[in-house]
Amino acid sequence: GLYFLVMEHLLGETLRELLKREKVLPLNRIIPIVKQCVDALIETHSKNIVHRDLKPENIFVINLNGQEKVKILDFGIAKAFDDKRMDLTKTGIIMGSPTYISPEQVKGEKDLDSQSDLYSLALITYEMLTGRLPFQGKTPNDLLVERLSKDPMPPSQANPQAAISPELDRALLKALARDRALRTISVKEFFTELLQAVQSNQPQVDSDYEIGLEHYHKGNYINAIEKLSSTLKTSADVFYLRGLASFDQGEYKEALADFSQAAKLDPKETYYYYCGLAFYELGDYVQAAKSLTQAIQANSTYSYYYYIRGKSHFYQGQGNYPQAIENFQLVLQLDPEDASSYYYLGRINYLSKDYLQAIASFNKAIKLSPQDSINYHQCGLAYLHLGNRKQATEYFQFAFKLKKDPSLRELLKRLS
């Protein structure tokens, strides 16, 4: 028999992608994410295994029925605490990502234990809370030197707008102590101290807002809108959350009004992005492109912003095709495996009667997304315009196998 490996198929995004888009997360999202990481690490550490490469890229966030579920990925350099076999660290090579490894990893110490993972998790928590890391060296080497020579900046100083309490400062700084003897003992203790720090400074909650938030996470959008409309809070996050509930209900005008108000109160890229999405759904592609441009000015590394802006230019018509092409090409620079961008490039080529280039673009989309019938269909149409009925028929047959479209059935009959 053949050996094979079965892996869970995950639909979601990494914490890195989430932070690129949102920069800073509220405590009511940070705490559940940290709690799930802690639970996973407690299990890992109970088996005497240390991960050694915890970072946002290795934390995967899944939206499951409105709740954020977390998976820790990539145990490729994990190691047992008591494993005495030859390790690369014995030759002075640092294992792990320089940005998130512990001081003892920087020094190449061999007796790593659970406190190394704790340190990395504390750095990730710090970044979720403040939008930055405590050490700001310009090069990886600078970061490593600072890790060994400087105390981390208190989170409250790193992000004064977040109103971080002294208790929360202390909980994070203790977990980030350079000396393991002074550091929090375990991830479990870290979470306990973190939770106590948050709860000791919990302000009087607005019950309508909290109930509205709960309704939204459960997918009860109508009830969420009702409660959020009753809240006494007038902050950006209230308008944003109510906008999301309206958007998910297909009420795009109401969603746009709330997203626009959120952006006025707090000019965050996320709010501009959702303004762009609402404009797009309303068919106002000019304003959609403008809102997406504002989001891109805040974060030029998130490919989906360019993708939606590219589609907005595409649907404005032929005069905007050059801008659409530019955006789809920018998407592919950031994400070379984005099949949808190749599809739209193919559509632009096709509508511009450049059928050979259209075929090339559609074939790239097919290679990346072989189960998507529309790419075969469009490629067949391009071949038909070139007078190549045989190739056109082959592509239409592939498309029909994937999707039993009646119009394709009729087209194949006529071609035969």
pLDDT tens digits, 1-50: 777 777 777 788 999 999 998 888 988 899 999 999 999 999 999 988 88
Token readout for 69 is: 């579920």
Look at domain 204-327 and name its CATH class.
mainly alpha
Over residues 117-144, mean pLDDT: 88
Instruction: Write the pLDDT tens digit of every residue in 232-280.
Output: 666 788 899 899 999 999 999 999 999 999 999 888 888 999 999 999 9
Q: Tell me the fold of 337-416.
A: 1.25.40
From-to residues of CATH 1.10.510.10 in the chain = 13-200
pLDDT, residue 364, reads 97
What DSSP character marks residue 59? E
From-to residues of CATH 1.25.40.10 in the chain = 204-327, 337-416
Instruction: Write the pLDDT tens digit of every residue in 89-109.
Output: 344 445 556 788 888 888 888
pLDDT, residue 58, reads 92
For 42-59, give one letter per residue: b (16+ CB within 10 A) or e. Answer: eebbeeebbbbbbbbbbb
pLDDT, residue 31, reads 92
The single residue listed with the structure tokens 């004064």 is 160
pLDDT, residue 90, reads 40
DSSP string, 254-275: HHHHHHHHHHHHS--HHHHHHH
Higher pLDDT, 92 or 111: 111
Chain-centre distance for alpha carbon 385: 40
Largest pairwise CA distance in the chain: 79
Residues in contact with 166: Cβ distance below 8 Å, sequence separation at least 6, in sequence order: 156
pLDDT band for position 202 (50/70/90)? low
Instruction: Write the pLDDT tens digit of every residue in 271-305.
Output: 999 999 999 999 999 999 999 999 999 888 888 89
pLDDT, residue 85, reads 35
Instruction: Write the pLDDT tens digit of every residue in 70-93.
Output: 999 876 544 444 444 334 334 444
Characterize the bridge pairing of strands 59-64 and 13-14. Answer: antiparallel
C-alpha distance across the termini of the chain, in Å: 45
Q: Is the dihedral of CA 57, 59, 62, 68 positive or negative?
A: negative
Kindly list the catalytic residues: 53
pLDDT, residue 47, reads 87
* Superfamily of 13-200 according to CATH: Transferase(Phosphotransferase) domain 1 (1.10.510.10)
The single residue listed with the structure tokens 């900046």 is 153
Tell me what the pLDDT averaged over the chain comes to: 87
Please state, for a pLDDT cut of 90, what percent of the chain lies above it. Answer: 54
pLDDT, residue 199, reads 79
**Distance of alpha carbon 109 from alpha carbon 364, whole angstroms:** 47
Over residues 140-147, mean pLDDT: 79
pTM as predicted: 0.56
